[in-house]
Structures are given as C-alpha cells and as structure tokens.
Amino acid sequence: MNAQGFSGPDTVSVRSGKLTLKGLLWRPAGNALFPTVIFCHGSYGGTDTLHDPNQNIALLGPVFAGKGYMFLGLLRRGVGLSKGQGINSTELMEKAFKERGQEGRNVVQLEHLQTDQFQDMISGLTFLRNRKDVDTNRIAIVGHSFGGSLTLLVAENEPGLKAVVVFSPAGYSWDRSPQL
C-alpha cells in the first residue's frame, strides 16, 4: 500500500482464447467489493514509437484507485506487456493501408473491432467479474481513440455495465470510414 491508500500496479494475466494477455491492476485499500473500471486503450505500435501504452495506463491507474476504484488497464493483443500475444491491430491496419488504401484499412479496423479486439475486452470483463473483490454491479468501461470505438461496441453487448466513458472514439478514422 502507498500513502494514497491503494496498491499497484500488479501485473495480471488474462486469458483471451489461446492468448495470455497482460494487464496492470490497481486496487484500493481495504476488504470490500470495489467499483471497478476497465480501461480500453487506443492504438499502439506500427509506426507510432512515441507512446508507451504501459506508461499511459500507469498514469490513469493511480487516479482511479486513489478515488476508491479498482482499475484494470488491459493490454490487448500485441501491445505493451502483451507483445508477442497475437498480432497488433495497428500493424495490421497500416499494412492494409499500404496494400489496399484507406478502404482496405477501414475493413481491417472494423473486422478487428468486432472480433479479436472485442474478445480481448470481453475476456478482461470476465476476469474482473470472477474476482472476489469486484462489485460486479458497479463495473465501468473507459476507452479512447480506437479503444473508444471498441468501448462502444462492448457496451452495446454488455448491458450489465454501470457506466461507459469514451473520448475521441475513432478520432483518426471517423471521417474516413463510413462504416464507423
């Protein structure tokens, strides 16, 4: 525990199909059922070498945990601590763009939002719901950019979520993808 009354981050493992993804988990002090936030990060990888998903999640975890929320920053396939577990969707979208242009990229993006990336987030929610310290009636999902789009799709299929917060969903893609 630290002075703010929470512990973390702990590195946790989350099964998503045949993959073992990693997440960073912060937990408030005490023995209770905690309201919980799962964070759905944006795109990382490919030509983006300026942003470190582990560091970005590490900035958010203490903010939520310090307010009494358990916080899981799940690193989806091929990203950050989950590198080597599946293929990074950003790299797939960049490859599709080079080979087939914006429309090819859009197809790959929508496909991964509805399949692999979606499954990763559902696996993260299942992981949280199986914990004895999570108040399963008070789980929220927060996402940005690509993760904001994914958050909306997860929320549509998970009516038990208590809150959904998105910022800049599909920020790069919104005006370039009629499907989104």
**What's the mean per-residue pLDDT of the chain?**
87
Contact present, 171 and 150 (Cβ < 8 Å):
no
Q: What is the SS3 assignment for 116?
A: helix
pLDDT, position 45: 63
Q: Is residue 72 over pLDDT 70?
A: yes
pTM exceeds 0.75? yes
The set of residues, in sequence order, having a beta carbon less than 8 Å from that of 126 and lying 6+ positions away, is none
The set of residues, in sequence order, having a beta carbon less than 8 Å from that of 132 and lying 6+ positions away, is none
pLDDT, position 179: 66
Cα Rg of the chain, angstroms? 16
Q: In whole angstroms, what is the distance from residue 102 CA to residue 55 CA?
A: 30
* pLDDT tier, 174 (very low <50, low <70, confident <90, very high otherwise): low
Q: In whole angstroms, what is the distance from residue 44 CA to residue 22 CA?
A: 15
ω into 9 cis (within 30 of 0): yes
Contact present, 54 and 80 (Cβ < 8 Å):
yes
27-31, 90-94, 147-151: range with highest mean pLDDT: 27-31
Q: In whole angstroms, what is the distance from residue 16 CA to residue 173 CA?
A: 26
pLDDT, position 89: 83
What number is the average pLDDT over the span 62-74?
96
